[in-house]
Structure 1
Amino acid sequence: MKIAGLTIVIAMLLILTNQVNAQKHVSSLLQYDKQIDGIISQMTLDEKVNMLHAKFMFVSAGVERLGIADMRYADGPFGVREEMQPKGWMPLGWENDKATFFPTGSALAATWSPELAYSYGTGMARETRLRGKDMILGPAINIQRIPTGGRTYEYLSEDPFLSSKLAVGYTKGVQDNGVAVCVKHFALNNQENNRGTVNVIVGERAMREIYLPPFRATVEEGDAYGFMSAYNKVNGWWCAENDILLNKILRQDWGFAGMVISDWGGTHSTVGSVKAGLNVEMPDQKFLGQALIDSVKAGKVSEEVINQRVREILRVRLAIKPIPETEANKEMTSQPAQQKIAYQVASKSIVLLKNDGILPLQLKSKPVIAVIGANATQIMGSGGMGAGVKTLYEITPLEGLKSRIGDKAEIIFAQGYDPVTFSFADMFRKKTPEEVEKKAQEKKIIAEKLTKEALEVVAKANLVLFIGGDNRAVETEGSDRKDIFLPSGQDELIKKIAAVNPNIVTVLTSGAPNDLNVVNPLSKALLISWFNGSEGGNALADVLVGNISPSGRLPFTLPVKLEDSPAYALGNYPQGGKNADVFANLVSETDPAGKTQAKKEDKPKDDPNTALYSEESLVGYRWFDTKKIQVMYPFGYGLTYTTFQYSNLKTNKVKYGKDEVIAVSFELKNTGKSIADEVAQVYVHRVNPSVEWPEKELKEFSRVSLNPGESKIVKLEIPVKNLQYWNETKQAWNDDLCKLELLVGASAGDVKLKKEVTLR
């Protein structure tokens, strides 16, 4: 009887184990393991370790003797970087490495379209293959925690669900076309100030529910082949040697089977990094070169660990077919098919925030249109520190308007304001008070001259198109903005313009939130057109003249003022002074001309190296809704040139078990006169929960295109398992079986329909 009982127990344990394994992602990369066994058995220790660090700035080594090609990386994530010298940051100066500049991350997120994200990934992969590369350093998917974040424009959204859907689309688009992704930056790289030294202190529930879901989705739904570890620490451990992040969560919990590379200069140890799961140190071999060989020989690292790190690289190498150098770079990187994708994304991303009836532009009377603003002619493919795109072309707003309007109106242009410019050298040299004063006086003279010219132009016009916002020097890798005010005195300029000509349409070409308190009431229409890629100017012009209806939706909340946002309201950011940036130091060290010299500053009195995430899960709209704080424009907001009606909300049941799916349907009708897209959004509010939750959370959405007068039944599904919370005590996902209010609407601030269901 005892044996029979033991047999039953063992059988039950096997069933439970199989159930757990059945739920765990099984990567397609595992199919290569038998072949890899044979390869590793032939490799020497030196050959193995040689694969674990950089060979050149954007290359890590294979094993030529065994026919294993090097791994070639393409910097991204919104366009393939120009070809660089093997051991430095200087470009080679080629002509055919000019690439398509795709709209940046926040623009892609504003489309609310996983399908467009897939197309985006397809375009990125095609150009990566033309250049003979194997892995694109993207998508960049960290949550936009602070409005001032230097990389907000590059990341996707403040919401984990929206970010997840887009990240999966991008990942599949890339990998379905023969290129590996390198999802970045893992994890919690939510600020640029002191990113190379800061220690993020975050609760595990918030980490699991807010900051990690997009990364998890790229693994479990997208089968991502590569990850990049972030510069920062998380709960005391550098991301490149964080056993909890890389081994426990990424590999064990999610089933990731690919390779992890460090961010450039982001490795800090030998034994800790290789044991924790780092595969490749970039862009050098300070830790995973000879030091690693010595550690193996000293018995501090077993060769089994080395074999596993090599295995994870080889899985990706065998999955991605290398392109011989003789076949790469034979034609221009940017191609018409990819340029078309860039236009499609740009045209669906533009967000109309306000329209008093002035748009679309009426051109029958051949009006005089004053286009004011440096951003009307500013290119956005480059301009700050970090990844940029050497574009084949970039259509600016002014060029797009001239192309689409032609002789239907007279366009006159004035620069209006002096744009911010980026100087790498200025990052390492503190100016004297005399230099600062001289520069201020020069700027004042320039501003007065440009303002005078702009006012003379607007006085002659029937309509003013004010093209303002940030640029790539304002929003840049390596540093966060000090505030979200429009730079270069734009607020003062638009006040003066309004006094002369109040017929103002304002377009903000920014990748992140701006303060709109001045510009909003002075504008009869207000749009955000992002850093919108090679075709951005054409897309903007098509929206302004009415060739297409705007259909972008905000991927983040626009606050009334910066201090209302959670990290600022709680005093969690900024944390103190700013240290020299890790990447900037890296580039300065390799500057062949020796023009820049990194200078170590004294440590500031306030510790800049601890970031407390005490807002926990209340990020973005979750904070504003829960705390009942008024916003300028809510998450998910965006107008079109038509109107929509929501009605007849239904669910297939009223009670749901934890393994069931909530099927939601409702009728959506275009009640206006223009064809347009609506982004219908479903939020969930917990009525009687057993644990704390935000006021509501996005759980599904759909972009729906409708002709005038047309109706559609929109059907959406929400698996109950997607409503779980992370139980920190049990270290597991738990159900919170409570009553739910399903909220269907056009944004987080515009709920049209409600229905209550019960989880049991």
Structure 2
Amino acid sequence: MKIRSLAAPFRSSSRNNVLFLSTVFLFMAYATDAQHSAKGDMATEQKIHALISEMTLPEKVSLLHGNSKFNVSGIKRLGIPEWALSDGPHGVRAEVNRHDWAYAGWTNDFATCFPPGTALAATWNPALAYKQGLVLGEEARFRKKDILLGPGVNIIRSPLCGRNFEYISEDPLLVSKMAVAYIKALQSKDVAASVKHWLANNQEEHRDSIDVTMSERALREIYLPAFKASVMEGGAYTVMAAYNRFRGEWCSENNYLNREILRKEFGFKGVLMTDWSAAHTTVKAALTGLDLEMGTDKKDYNEWYFADPLIKAVEEGKVPMSVVDEKVANVLRVMFNTKIFDEKRREQGRMNTPEHQQAAYNAAAEAAVLLQNNGNLLPLHFDKIQSIAVIGDNATRKHCSGGLSSEVKALYEITPLQALQQKFGARVKINYARGYEKQSTFREGNNSGQSGSLNVNWKLIDEAVAVARESDVVLIFGGLNHDFDTESADKQNMDLPYGQEILIQEVAKANPKTVVVIIAGSPVQLAGIVHRVPAIVWSWFGGMEAGNAVVDVLSGKINPSGKLPFTLPVSLAQSPAHALGNFPGSDLKVNYEEDILVGYRWFDTKKIQPQFPFGYGLSYTNFSISQFSTDKTGYGKNETIQAKFTIRNTGSVYGAEVVQLYVSDPLCSVLRPEKELKAFQKIFLKPGETKTVEMPVKVADLAFYDESKKAWNTEAGDYILQLGNSSRTIFQKVKISVK
């Protein structure tokens, strides 16, 4: 495009010369940049080699294990500073004591709290992921943190996984796009990302002992792509090894994962660290590629596997010095990449700025998914409402401080009731009733705290019914809390806890104008309420601006544009891992028998109707999509398909649609999903506005992993491109052929 604009003012006779010269100049510029980069890399490697040559063995080893909960020793005499790590997928975690998990009680570690992973994914907007990465990078720099432990890119395999809320999606492409944007932005602020959890940490039950088995095809098509993109496209500086075993070997000492795939295939030259206390050996872990041990519970840091035992292993000849030097080089390389030796360090950081808070609001506002809006009850016109009933524990509960490692000490957190009172309390009577009570008490590593989740408090229900009867409209804020969506424990079921289903049914009888707002980070069963209430909004754990965002969606100030990042089943038994009885496994082993048919791939291929499909979400406006076409009908395997369509906002309000491009391979030598997401774009349009949008798809991305050839295979034949706004809502199809 730049070349064409340069040439435009000239006569056609001179155009070729201009194009030629422009191309030469561009080539020279790229070549110069590449030369500078190569020289810089060479200079850095020389510095790394020089530093290593000055170190004693104990000094080298001191860089390979923690010296506190979140720090790694430096080497003062060589000018190598201590390394500081922090939890923080969606907010920099508050400071803990150096040698225990108690909070240090600082007054300057209040942070910006974003909505967590599934909520971010529901925006389907990588630009928001990029902005979140920038904010987290600035706040980590302010807190003098060098590594932020995130993002979590594990696939959502089961609705019950306790950490689903931290993860992003059931689809590897959606995970990859959001993660790459997040990582690039974070690391632009000289803070290293730590992509986790490598690999197959798709459940919390027995996470530190379960042995995961899956086919090579499932590994390559479903569970590896987000890690591959994070490293090869995002340039992630560190990767965190998971707790579990993979095909019999601990992830922290799995040669196939760590040496063959991560190092050789992905070209990873950064630091592979353990999850906290996920190391199991010294020699094997050292030889198979682990670099950094964190979190072991032994109080004497010198007793850790990568401390004195590693020194002894080198002295006894069990671990070559070259292996230790490799690890130290990886650590130093990340330090240089994040400019840790630069006293001025480009970004000194900022904390809790208005811009940061606006970014948190934007993420929460775009995440909200309008699931149901019968009779166009939403948006609510507060200028025509005299009274409103606000019901539910989640109307007043704050969630930023829950979830264990992802908990955030937010500067503030606006609840839905607070936002309603601040925005409309002066002119609308707000009648609050709790409706249900939190009966659980989460205990780390034990989900028994979820017991009593179905108990019904009829006194609270009667109070809720009473305020519903005397109000024009009812808002019920239900869903989950971090006793259910949490690290260290899986949910026991998909039920709405604390008798919420009965509460909703009884309130809807008293007042049919009832809107249910689900606050949760993982699927819950809605079958008992979808036919009882006209409107349902999924607003996730919304971070510090949760209340403001959801109230602005309910009032129409914000037009909802979120889409589900996972399939919402009618019941748990529909989900593939549960339909096949292989969650959470038995005898500390689990086989991913559903193979590549994860999430919508299973539902669509097996023709199972979910409650709400992957990619689904309504709007307050309407869109028409037409003129779907490709630039050609036939392609070679190294070409790129240029798909194009026209979209128009046919409604009366500004809004955004997420257009999703799926591809089917109807005739293939192996089983393939009915369709797979290959591209998407979020498009914002004014009323009446029309845009023509292009979506490139590489033909190579249509391939499946051929286990017989141990390679990707794009078979010749016909493929069907399907354009829609969910996996079940397809507007137009185009057939192309691959030679």
Q: Is structure 2 residue 327 aligned with structure 1 residue 309?
A: yes
SS across alignment from 1:246: helix
Letter of the 2:180 counterpart: V
Superposed counterparts of 1:588-603, under 5 Å? none
Post-superposition offset of 1:634 = 0.5
Corresponding residue for 1:15? Answer: none
Q: Is structure 2 residue 219 aligned with structure 1 residue 207?
A: yes
Task: Structure 1 unaligned segments of length 5 or more: list them.
Answer: 1-21, 577-606
Is the contact between residue 373 and residue 468 of structure 1 (CA under 8 Å) also seen in structure 2? yes
Corresponding residue for 1:380? Answer: 399
Corresponding residue for 1:170? Answer: 182
Is the contact between residue 135 and residue 180 of structure 1 (CA under 8 Å) also seen in structure 2? yes
Is the contact between residue 202 and residue 612 of structure 1 (CA under 8 Å) also seen in structure 2? yes
Post-superposition offset of 1:327 = 11
SS across alignment from 1:136: strand
CA RMSD of aligned residues (A): 2.4
Corresponding residue for 1:4? Answer: none
Is the contact between residue 140 and residue 155 of structure 1 (CA under 8 Å) also seen in structure 2? yes
Q: Is structure 2 residue 338 aligned with structure 1 residue 320?
A: yes
**Of 646, 650, 662, the match for 1:671:** 650
CA gap 1:205/1:425 in 2 versus in 1, 3 angstroms: closer
Q: Is structure 2 residue 145 aligned with structure 1 residue 133?
A: yes
CA gap 1:652/1:39 in 2 versus in 1, 3 angstroms: same
Corresponding residue for 2:675? Answer: 696
* 1:515-563 C-alpha deviation (Å, 9 max, x unpaired): 0011211121101000110111111011100101000000000011110
Is the contact between residue 420 and residue 471 of structure 1 (CA under 8 Å) also seen in structure 2? no
Superposed counterparts of 1:708-747, under 5 Å? 708-747=687-726
CA gap 1:332/1:489 in 2 versus in 1, 3 angstroms: farther
Q: Is structure 2 residue 730 aligned with structure 1 residue 751?
A: yes
Aligned-partner Cα distance in 2 for 1:483–1:174: 35
Aligned-partner Cα distance in 1 for 2:46–2:349: 37
SS across alignment from 2:656: strand
Corresponding residue for 2:354? Answer: 336
CA gap 1:258/1:426 in 2 versus in 1, 3 angstroms: closer
Corresponding residue for 2:607? Answer: 628
Is the contact between residue 649 and residue 755 of structure 1 (CA under 8 Å) also seen in structure 2? yes
Q: Is structure 2 residue 506 aligned with structure 1 residue 492?
A: no
Letter of the 1:224 counterpart: A
Post-superposition offset of 1:29 = 6.6
* 1:131-167 C-alpha deviation (Å, 9 max, x unpaired): 0000100011100000111000000000000100000
Is the contact between residue 80 and residue 341 of structure 2 (CA under 8 Å) also seen in structure 1? no
Letter of the 2:702 counterpart: L
Aligned-partner Cα distance in 2 for 1:472–1:280: 30
Corresponding residue for 1:257? Answer: 269
Post-superposition offset of 1:422 = 3.1
* 1:3-36 C-alpha deviation (Å, 9 max, x unpaired): xxxxxxxxxxxxxxxxxxx9xx999977621211
Identity %: 44
Task: Structure 2 unaligned segments of length 5 or more: list them.
Answer: 1-33
Corresponding residue for 2:388? Answer: 369
Corresponding residue for 1:451? Answer: 461
Aligned-partner Cα distance in 2 for 1:27–1:653: 42
**Of 376, 379, 403, the match for 1:360:** 379
Corresponding residue for 1:403? Answer: 422
* 1:201-230 C-alpha deviation (Å, 9 max, x unpaired): 011111011011011001111111011000
Post-superposition offset of 1:329 = 14
Letter of the 1:42 counterpart: E
Query: How many pairs does the alignment contain?
Result: 697
Is the contact between residue 691 and residue 736 of structure 1 (CA under 8 Å) also seen in structure 2? no
**Of 406, 415, 422, the match for 2:434:** 415
Post-superposition offset of 1:43 = 0.6
Aligned-partner Cα distance in 1 for 2:396–2:347: 30
Post-superposition offset of 1:725 = 2.1
CA gap 1:461/1:635 in 2 versus in 1, 3 angstroms: same
CA gap 1:400/1:682 in 2 versus in 1, 3 angstroms: same
CA gap 1:404/1:727 in 2 versus in 1, 3 angstroms: same
CA gap 1:280/1:28 in 2 versus in 1, 3 angstroms: farther
Q: Is structure 2 residue 506 aligned with structure 1 residue 527?
A: no
Aligned-partner Cα distance in 2 for 1:35–1:126: 27
Corresponding residue for 1:276? Answer: 288
Post-superposition offset of 1:71 = 1.3
Is the contact between residue 200 and residue 246 of structure 2 (CA under 8 Å) also seen in structure 1? yes
Alignment TM-score, normalising by the size of structure 2: 0.91
Q: Is structure 2 residue 255 aligned with structure 1 residue 236?
A: no
Corresponding residue for 1:220? Answer: 232
Letter of the 1:711 counterpart: T
Corresponding residue for 2:473? Answer: 463
Is the contact between residue 96 and residue 332 of structure 1 (CA under 8 Å) also seen in structure 2? no
Aligned-partner Cα distance in 2 for 1:274–1:33: 22
Corresponding residue for 1:93? Answer: 105
> Which moves more between the two structures, 269-278 or 403-412?
403-412
Aligned-partner Cα distance in 1 for 2:459–2:444: 28
Letter of the 1:369 counterpart: I
Is the contact between residue 211 and residue 247 of structure 2 (CA under 8 Å) also seen in structure 1? yes
Post-superposition offset of 1:502 = 1.5
Alignment TM-score, normalising by the size of structure 1: 0.89
**Of 33, 36, 54, the match for 2:48:** 36
CA gap 1:136/1:474 in 2 versus in 1, 3 angstroms: same
